[in-house]
């Protein structure tokens, strides 16, 4: 079997897809994107695919090593996101060629279903309690919300009070065991992170995500002392070597690598296994599309330390179209009692709706992060 070509797609709301074609008629799908920089990622794909065309797609480990190592300059969000989408597509091809789901090729299942959570926003909306109750009524047992609006290094305590009021409202609208993930989104600096960790602890959150930016992870152990809350991070880390460094420092309880940013299924599996050796849980980051979600779920299926999976169906970013719109076999994402059933069809288990994909591609979206500023006009982390 040989790779004979490929095609890339950039589609709303902020996703990139990749189709790799073989001489035996088997195609594989990946989701190479980087929110706000997907066009750049796809330029990198063009460079990487120069090597792969004509190669056997089933030699995934060798291809990963060549694409990562042979360029001399390695890593980073652009390259690793491009490599991630290629890697996903190669696994999809191999699973289809062998008529088996990808998780069987990764060692086989260690669970029968995967716990999921749903997004409800949180930084500015005023009705998070209602949204959390709606998710509870749909069967979800956990949600994630943004903690706060923009925060300066030292900021008003009224903003802290607003966070606490929203979390209290969610707790009142649900129950004691309902999981509340609180995403600081890297927009909180260390002085205010200490305050929020201390004040949020009595609400028993499921976790606090990105309490500090990735470049300040050396301070995580200090932040952890202010509240007995599991700390999660990892969406802005792109290789096993970055994760090795943070695991050795300690203080992290849940790793959140993104299968479309950290080098794909091949690399995420290695990161997950390394985290298990440190008694650290896995909760893959995935506010993305159907292929990234499928890839994440195949990893969850085989990793004992996977505890919960993010998914973006209905997330506030998804304007005009949503995750399931790009699929023919929408039923494979079967959520019941807060869990998703395993994906059992060959490959990644996703049948892409190419006609819809082609139509949406014509819109050529250029999603960009919002630019926030503090009251004094200085830049604020989003």
Does 298 qualify as catalytic in the annotation?
no
The answer to whether 164 touches 129, Cβ cutoff 8 Å, is no
| Whole-angstrom distance, CA of residue 43 vs CA of residue 48 | 9
Q: Which residues pair with 281 in a beta bridge?
A: 254
| Whole-angstrom distance, CA of residue 234 vs CA of residue 283 | 10
Which is the catalytic residue, given 185, 189, 261, 298?
Answer: 185
Does 185 qualify as catalytic in the annotation?
yes
Residue ranges of alpha helices (H) inside the chain are 38-52, 60-69, 77-97, 102-105, 128-137, 157-173, 190-200, 220-224, 240-249, 264-277, 290-302, 354-361
C-alpha distance from residue 273 to each of 207, 286, 299, 351 (Å): 21, 19, 10, 29
Which is the catalytic residue, given 63, 261, 285, 298?
Answer: 285
Pairing of strands 339-341, 335-336: antiparallel
Q: Tokens 């709303």 map to which residue?
A: 12
Q: Quickly list DSSP for 58-98.
A: T-HHHHHHHHHHTTSS--SHHHHHHHHHHHHHHHHHHHHHT
Question: Which residues are the active-site residues?
Answer: 185, 285
């Amino acid at each position: 079997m040989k790779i004979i070509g490929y095609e890339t797609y950039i589609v709303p709301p902020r996703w990139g897809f990749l189709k790799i074609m073989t001489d035996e008629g088997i195609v594989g799908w990946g989701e190479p994107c980087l929110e706000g920089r997907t066009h750049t990622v796809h330029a990198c794909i063009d460079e990487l695919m120069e090597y792969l065309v004509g190669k056997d797609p089933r030699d995934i480990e060798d291809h990963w090593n060549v694409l990562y190592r042979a360029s001399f300059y390695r890593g980073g969000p652009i390259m690793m996101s491009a490599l991630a989408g290629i890697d996903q597509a190669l696994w999809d091809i191999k699973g289809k060629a062998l008529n088996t789901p990808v998780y069987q090729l990764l060692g086989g299942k260690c669970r029968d279903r995967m716990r999921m959570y749903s997004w409800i926003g949180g930084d500015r909306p005023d009705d998070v309690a209602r949204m959390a109750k709606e998710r509870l009524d749909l069967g979800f047992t956990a949600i994630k919300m943004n903690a706060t609006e923009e925060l300066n290094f030292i900021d008003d305590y009224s903003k802290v009070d607003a966070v606490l009021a929203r979390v209290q409202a969610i707790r009142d609208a649900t129950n004691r065991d309902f999981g509340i993930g609180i995403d600081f989104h890297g927009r909180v600096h260390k002085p205010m992170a200490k305050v929020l960790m201390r004040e949020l602890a009595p609400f028993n959150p499921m976790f606090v995500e990105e309490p500090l930016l990735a470049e300040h992870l050396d301070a995580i152990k200090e932040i952890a002392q202010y509240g007995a809350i599991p700390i999660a991070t990892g969406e802005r880390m792109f290789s096993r070597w970055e994760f090795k460094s943070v695991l050795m420092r300690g203080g992290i309880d849940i790793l959140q690598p993104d299968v479309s940013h950290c080098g794909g299924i091949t690399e995420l599996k290695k990161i997950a296994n390394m985290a298990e050796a440190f008694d650290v849980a896995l909760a893959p980051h995935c506010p993305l599309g159907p292929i990234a979600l499928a890839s994440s779920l195949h990893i969850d299926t085989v990793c004992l330390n996977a505890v919960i999976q993010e998914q973006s169906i209905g997330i506030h970013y998804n304007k005009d179209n949503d995750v399931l719109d790009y699929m023919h076999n929408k039923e494979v994402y079967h959520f019941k009692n807060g869990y998703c059933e395993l994906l059992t069809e060959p490959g990644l288990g996703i049948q892409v709706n190419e006609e819809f994909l082609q139509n949406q591609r014509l819109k050529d979206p250029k999603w960009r992060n919002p630019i926030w500023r503090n009251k004094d006009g200085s830049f604020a982390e989003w």
